[in-house]
Structure 1
Amino acid sequence: MLRNYFKIAWRNLIRNKAFSIINISGLALGLTCSLLIFLWVQDERSVDGFHANSDQLFQVYERRSYDGKTEANYLTQGLLADELKKAVPEVEYASSMERNNKYTFEAEDKIYKMEGTFASTDFLRMFSYPLLLGTPSNGPNTISISRKMAEQFFGSPEQAIGKTIRYENKDDLQVTAVFENVPANSSQQFDFLRNWQDYARDNEWANHWESTSPFTFVQLRKDADPAKVADKIKGFIAKYDRYRELDLQPYSEKYLHSNFKNGQIDGGRIEYVHLFSLVALFILLIACINFMNLATARSTQRAKEVGVRKVVGAVRSSLIMQFIGEAILITFISAIIAIVLVFLLLPAFNNFTGKHLILPVTQPFFWLTLLGILTLTGFTAGSYPALFLSSLNPLRVLKGSLKLGTGAMFFRKSLVVFQFSFSVILIVGMIIIYRQINYVQTRNLGYDRENLLYIPIEGDLITKYDLFKKEAAQMPGILSISKMKESPTVIGHQKGGIGWEGKDPTQEVSFSDAAVAYDFVKTMHLTLAAGRDFSEDFGTDATAYLVNETAVKKMGYKDPIGKPFYWDGHNGNIIGVLKDFHFNSMHQAIEPLFVRLDLNPKWGTILVRTSNAKQALVSLENIYKTLNPKFPFLYQFSDQEFDKLYKSEQIVSRLTGYFSFLAIFISCLGLFGLATFAAAQRTKEIGVRKVLGASVPDIITLLSTDILKPVAIALLIGFPVSWYVMNQWLQNFAYKTNIEWWMFVLAAILTIGIAILTVSFQSVKAALMNPVKSLKAD
């Protein structure tokens, strides 16, 4: 019996090559898209899921209430980890960890930049980063390195143990351990770990409760109740800052849930995981709907086959099994093509998304999941054709041509409406996302990011900055030079204890803080709304401040120049007001900012304004290598660093564009099936109309108008849904484009234009048919 079903299904595929190719290609594209998204979603959900103690691992975050609002972030005090371990019995292990950075190492005449950080001794006990050799660094001037770093500097992990490696040309560190390379599905990526004692020794602020910067991780005992521990540590730092409180987040959830709103965890990358999971589901549904429409479009050809089978004794259940079997066969053929396409597309997809995805062909779970998807797809795609064809009355079918009622036509057109509604939502989404990305990239930031270079301050440049600036300023292509801590693209540092004349003493506020050198305003091309920039001609500028317009509004000064301003006891006066400029992502509103002089920072960024970047880089590299020979010359362009702030949105924009194209293409295959079906149903009507004098354009208009009605309905459904969805998405930006009418008009023109091109072939073909043949048709 099964063999007979297979033979019939295969013969039908071969006999109707055009429909088979359309069906298979539609399902193959839908499955390809769904498999790529499935691999991406699976990878996103697997991040940080490999730690053996995952259920006991938590990250501490701080919630702070001030100035009538509540905010939260992951930055904590450097003393917190050790104190929690001492004071809270449920905390088994605890570790501080500074944010990753790139540092210069030298060993055996090799100099490389490696990425890593500082962490407490407990860190490698808590997290599952396997040790290959040695013991984690637990004393001063020791370091644990990855297999990659060991091989790069010493040739092998075995040869690295006990060796000395020079850090930032100032500290000689002993390699005490080598750990396995951090897996790609870890949100933490590092090549080395130095002991937290060294960091606290070199950064005095890390030994005080008033300053925050590192992350704090804890591992609770297995019998501990996380909710009770969170409640216990809530007021742990209240004696140092009554406006702050602590809370816990399961570490396994942080990667996907890292956004905060009103001091509470509220979304993150999980939103994109949900979004693209829905996209995959809907694109696969669109492909299944195509199969349904194309199968019923061929119903006139298969109706007599069904009639004969019923007359000779076939029961309905066997017919249903046959048609669903055909659908599953087509689905499995499509799956083979889809797997080949995924294999070919994965390198480009990985390059685009920054992932390291592979087809997990050796994992039984992958094949079981794929088998489940294919079976479900086959049943979904074949269910309606099977139920419809198996329900046909054999006497009516064998007496004449198949005529369908309005119910069947309504259902089929409803499927087309669903397809195109989703396609419209994706097209409108693509237009608005592209518009928003273009908006943030072209918006006036308040400074000129073109021809602006960032060079890290490290090594001998810390003490030789003035000489570097003097020599570089004389070189062609260089207009001005300054420096600052962090970089102007993201100023994340904030200060509390802010005060000004007339401030309410009970009001707690926080301002962003930028420590800069002379010529900062000139180099950045900032605009002064009032007052002046820092100048070497004024010795008092060491205690003077520049503030932005938002800070002036916050303080309520009408004429701020010369007015007092202080932070944490550092008293001074305001000498200038900067017009507001963006120093963070446009997801955030511009915050109050004060700018102060810091001429001798231990780290930071040199800012170079150029007139000819290519010419300037040659000069800068020569000077750099002369003054700082132990460090590689590195630089970033300001506009490239700015674009990194919107990397996720850029990926979403491009993916939405690709998915929109796929959805509309697959939907048009379904529309082609509907056009074919409509033409077949109205063959005699077309012949009669032509005999009575109807012209070819009249016939084309008649068929096209009827077929395009579902597309028009889809637009009416898709527009409000897409407006709501994209309006919600835009709320993530403090500065955003407007959703305008022309975006919907453009989406409508694209959708209708593509639909017309799709149905025109069948409409023209039907209109040009000889009326004699039309009237003779069965």
Structure 2
Amino acid sequence: MLTNYFKIAWRNLQKNRVYSMINIGGLAVGMGVTILIALWVIDELGYDRYHQNYDRIAQVMQHQTYNGNVGTQESNPAAMGEEIRNVYGADFRYVLQASWNHEHTVTFGDKMFLQEGSFFEPQVAEMLTLKMIHGSRNGLQEMNSILISAAVAKTYFGDDDPMGKMLRIDDAVDVKVTGVYEDLPFNSSFRDMKIIMPWSLYLSQNKWVEQMENPWGSNFTRTFAMIGDHAEMESLSKKIKDVKLNKVSQEEHRYNPQVFLHPMSKWRLYSEFKNGVNIGGRITNIWLFGTIGVFVLILACINFMNLSTARSEKRAKEVGIRKAIGSLRKQLVAQFFSESILIAVLAFVLSILLVYLVLPSFNVVADKRIDIPFVDFTFWATGVGFAIFTGVLAGIYPALYLSSFNPVKTLKGTFRVGRYAAIPRKALVVLQFSISTTLIIGTIVVYKQITFAQNRPIGYNKDGLIRASVTDDLHKHFDAIREELMSAGAIVAMAESGSPTTQVWNTNGGFDWEGKDPNQAVDFPNNAVSHDYGNVIGWKLKEGRDFSRDFASDTATFILNESAVKFIGLKDPVGKIIRWENQPYTVIGVIEDILVQSPYAPVRPAMWHLNTDAQNVFLMKLNPQTNVKSALSKIESVFKRESPGRPFSPSFVDEDYAQKFGDEKRLGTLSSFFAVLAIFISCLGLFALASFVAEQRTKEIGIRKVLGASVPNLWRMLSQDFVVLVIISCLIAVPIAYYLAVGWLSSYEYKTDLSWWIFTAAVTGAIAITLFTVSYQAIKASLMNPVKSLRTE
């Protein structure tokens, strides 16, 4: 019986090839989108699960109150790890101190490359359950040792055994390879950690850490922990809350540091904090795209339902004959379900092919490394189940509807579907275009928000601005290098800075000024810069002057941004004194606000001070009259000559700034991609439905033409019903989209407004797309020879 059902289903597909292709194609696209989104969601939810201790690893973070707000940060004092071990060690298996992940020059013979890595306490390999290819997880016990990834081992040693080989780090220290670990997957928070060196080596290279007068006074390291087998994350987090508060001075109690554990399971999806409260993060995108995937699949199923019920008259006699010869209704239902399941299975096979072809481009847009798990039985079992479920979902209404026909009326030829039979189809069309129009509006809002932030004044000129890392050799010859490059026409200005122009690497407290509330805790970005920094980046002075070589006292001065002046409450700020760690600094200038951090948030109060010591970043303004490639080549030759132990690896500041929009751009691109597919699926169904309506009204059109109806009149008659349905869908979609857009924009402090043209453009676009889709069939039907139309039975 089941075999017979599928044979009949296959014959029906062959008999109606056009409608079958539309059904299968529409379902395949809908299922393909759903599979893509499912793979993306699985990858997101699987973040960091490579590490076997995933559910017991946490990062030690802290909330601090400053500038009137509670801020959350990952950085800790270097003493944090040891203190937690000493006081709460029984509750933890590991508490490890670590540096930030940075690029390091790694040299072996004539091979010299930049590799990202961290300094970690020795138990890191055990905590992260690194899979060792060579050596063991105990490889960091000696100070001059190093663990490297498989990719790094391949780069330097090829197929040779790397164990025991010596590498030179930052042209300063030699380390021995004591282990090689499997490359970490792309969906690991530690994926960029290509080399791991001992924490003791970091301390030996940075003597100032152990020589600090107040080891709790500076936050510059990271702390990771693995809780004990019988410990509970939330209660343990509350237990260690005051570990820092109990160690800092009474004056620093104003910052009210509250230490807590942020579980690895939340690093990816729940990474955003506001006023000390976790407000989510990427989990919003999971819900967003998951919902889009469900809706796109529903759109494809609606096409199937519409076409199946629209063609009901074609199959009325078939149903009548089957019932007359004894078929039960449940058998007819099974027959129609078998057809829909067959279509769904064929669509699933086609969808896998589509996903396979699209996945490389999707990975680029989504910044992923997703593969289809062809050898995974669970994937195929889920996929087949998904196809059957889709077939049942798409076929449930047609099966129940078609199997309900009265056999007597269908065989007499008196059966008519009735004037209300089209209402469900119209309702489904309205639902389709409501979803599609909502997606269109959402996509426009995302891009408008991105454009709004991109057009925000940034307070400096990033064009032609590049940055590179400072080394001691380069700093020692700074003036000579600057003069040589300027004489060669490669640059027009050069300076050093403690932080890149697009990031904050250092903040400070300990500031005081006349009229300041003694209980107020403050924390300002405080960037150390060299002379000419303002000239290099092109900041805009509002009051006072820039740092100058003509004034030796400028090493005890500040330049403030407008937000700092407003926050401090200074009137006529130039010449005022601000004390930093009890040392007086004179304000010599005020600049327009510079956008350093998030383009979606207010500019933080910030200050700059002059420091002639070596800093972290070189900033250079390329000569606009010189070819960029030629200028970079000249800079590289000079840098390599002066500092041969480090590769020249510059970054363009405009590219650094563009990265701030990465997440929103990915969201916008993916949203537009899914919106286009949703519109395509809706139009595919609309096209087939218009074709069927035109076919049903063939004789009517012929009679109207004989009576003098023009082609435009017939086109308007056949199109207006669909346009009305789309207008209704737009009236439903606009308030829904408005509500969702307001909710999404509420997460941004600096945000665009919801202009009326967004909704007008979406509605106009939906109507235009409808007319374009329907017009082909409408005009085709209108141009038919009426004599031929009237002869058609």
Q: TM-score range by the shorter chain?
A: over 0.9
Question: Where does residue 25 of structure 2 map in the other structure?
Answer: 25
Q: How does 1:572-651 map to 2 (within 5 A)?
A: 572-601=585-614, 603-611=616-624, 612=626, 613-651=628-666
Structure 1 residue 727 displacement after superposition: 2.6
User: Matches of 1:274 and 1:554 in 2, distance apart?
Assistant: 38
Q: Secondary structure at the match of 1:646?
A: helix
Q: Which deviates the most, 178-187 or 478-487?
A: 178-187
User: Matches of 2:294 and 2:595 in 1, distance apart?
Assistant: 39
User: Matches of 1:559 and 1:326 in 2, distance apart?
Assistant: 81
Is 1:698 the equivalent of 2:713? yes
Structure 1 residue 405 displacement after superposition: 3.9
Question: Where does residue 220 of structure 2 map in the other structure?
Answer: 213
Is 1:471 the equivalent of 2:471? no
The residue identity in structure 2 corresponding to 1:558 is K
Is 1:444 the equivalent of 2:457? yes
Structure 1 residue 16 displacement after superposition: 0.7
Structure 1 residue 199 displacement after superposition: 2.1
Question: Where does residue 15 of structure 2 map in the other structure?
Answer: 15
Aligned counterpart for 1:290 among listed residues 303, 308, 332: 303
Is 1:672 the equivalent of 2:672? no
Query: Structure 1 residues 473, 180: closer, same or farther in 2, change over 3 A?
Result: same
The residue identity in structure 1 corresponding to 2:478 is Y
User: Matches of 1:84 and 1:48 in 2, distance apart?
Assistant: 24
Superimposed CA distance per residue, residues 609-668 of structure 1 (whole angstroms, 9 cap, x where no aligned partner): 431333321221121121112221111111111111111111111111211111001001
Query: Structure 1 residues 389, 645: closer, same or farther in 2, change over 3 A?
Result: same
User: Matches of 1:213 and 1:413 in 2, distance apart?
Assistant: 62
**Stretches (4+) displaced over 6 A:** none
Is 1:192 the equivalent of 2:173? no
User: Matches of 1:649 and 1:312 in 2, distance apart?
Assistant: 62
User: Matches of 2:476 and 2:313 in 1, distance apart?
Assistant: 86
User: Matches of 2:582 and 2:324 in 1, distance apart?
Assistant: 98
Q: Secondary structure at the match of 2:644?
A: coil
Query: Structure 1 residues 430, 327: closer, same or farther in 2, change over 3 A?
Result: same
Q: How does 1:18-167 map to 2 (within 5 A)?
A: 18-88=18-88, 89-132=90-133, 133-134=135-136, 135-156=138-159, 159-167=161-169
Structure 1 residue 575 displacement after superposition: 0.5
Question: Where does residue 274 of structure 2 map in the other structure?
Answer: 261
Length-normalised TM-score, structure 1: 0.96
Structure 1 residue 744 displacement after superposition: 1.7
The residue identity in structure 2 corresponding to 1:221 is G
Structure 1 residue 536 displacement after superposition: 1.1
The residue identity in structure 1 corresponding to 2:178 is T
Question: Where does residue 444 of structure 2 map in the other structure?
Answer: 431
Structure 1 residue 128 displacement after superposition: 1.6
Question: Where does residue 176 of structure 1 map in the other structure?
Answer: 178
User: Matches of 1:554 and 1:761 in 2, distance apart?
Assistant: 64
The residue identity in structure 2 corresponding to 1:45 is L
User: Matches of 2:681 and 2:63 in 1, distance apart?
Assistant: 48
Superimposed CA distance per residue, residues 660-685 of structure 1 (whole angstroms, 9 cap, x where no aligned partner): 11100100112123323433454454
The residue identity in structure 2 corresponding to 1:92 is R
Are 1:462 and 1:603, in contact at CA under 8 Å, matched by a contact in 2?
no
Q: Secondary structure at the match of 2:717?
A: helix
Structure 1 residue 420 displacement after superposition: 0.8
Question: Where does residue 402 of structure 2 map in the other structure?
Answer: 389
Structure 1 residue 106 displacement after superposition: 0.9
Superimposed CA distance per residue, residues 691-726 of structure 1 (whole angstroms, 9 cap, x where no aligned partner): 544333222212211122111011111112222222
Structure 1 residue 690 displacement after superposition: 4.2
Question: Where does residue 780 of structure 2 map in the other structure?
Answer: 765
Is 1:724 the equivalent of 2:717? no
User: Matches of 2:529 and 2:603 in 1, distance apart?
Assistant: 19
The residue identity in structure 2 corresponding to 1:227 is E
Q: Secondary structure at the match of 1:508?
A: coil
Q: Indicate the percent of aligned positions where both proteins have the same amino acid.
A: 39
Q: How does 1:318-357 map to 2 (within 5 A)?
A: 318-357=331-370
Q: Secondary structure at the match of 1:64?
A: strand
User: Matches of 1:342 and 1:459 in 2, distance apart?
Assistant: 51
Question: Where does residue 230 of structure 1 map in the other structure?
Answer: 237
Question: Where does residue 759 of structure 2 map in the other structure?
Answer: 744
User: Matches of 1:526 and 1:67 in 2, distance apart?
Assistant: 25
Q: Where does structure 2 lack aligned partners over 5 or more consecutive residues?
A: none
User: Matches of 1:185 and 1:401 in 2, distance apart?
Assistant: 63
User: Matches of 1:523 and 1:375 in 2, distance apart?
Assistant: 64
Superimposed CA distance per residue, residues 551-600 of structure 1 (whole angstroms, 9 cap, x where no aligned partner): 00011111001101133334211010011120112122100001011221
Are 2:365 and 2:669, in contact at CA under 8 Å, matched by a contact in 1?
no
Q: Where does structure 1 lack aligned partners over 5 or more consecutive residues?
A: none
Superimposed CA distance per residue, residues 497-538 of structure 1 (whole angstroms, 9 cap, x where no aligned partner): 221121111111111121111111111111000011111111
Q: How does 1:299-378 map to 2 (within 5 A)?
A: 299-378=312-391
Are 1:297 and 1:676, in contact at CA under 8 Å, matched by a contact in 2?
no
Q: Secondary structure at the match of 1:649?
A: helix
Q: Secondary structure at the match of 1:515?
A: strand
Are 1:586 and 1:733, in contact at CA under 8 Å, matched by a contact in 2?
no
Are 1:296 and 1:677, in contact at CA under 8 Å, matched by a contact in 2?
no
Structure 1 residue 338 displacement after superposition: 1.2
Q: Which deviates the most, 594-603 or 584-593?
A: 594-603
Structure 1 residue 601 displacement after superposition: 2.7
Query: Structure 1 residues 459, 352: closer, same or farther in 2, change over 3 A?
Result: farther
User: Matches of 1:636 and 1:753 in 2, distance apart?
Assistant: 45
Q: What count of residue pairs does the alignment treat as equivalent?
A: 777
Are 2:146 and 2:196, in contact at CA under 8 Å, matched by a contact in 1?
yes
User: Matches of 1:605 and 1:218 in 2, distance apart?
Assistant: 35
User: Matches of 1:170 and 1:760 in 2, distance apart?
Assistant: 73
Q: Secondary structure at the match of 1:266?
A: strand
Q: Secondary structure at the match of 2:161?
A: helix
Length-normalised TM-score, structure 2: 0.94
Q: Secondary structure at the match of 2:373?
A: coil
The residue identity in structure 2 corresponding to 1:616 is A
The residue identity in structure 2 corresponding to 1:46 is G
Question: Where does residue 677 of structure 2 map in the other structure?
Answer: 662
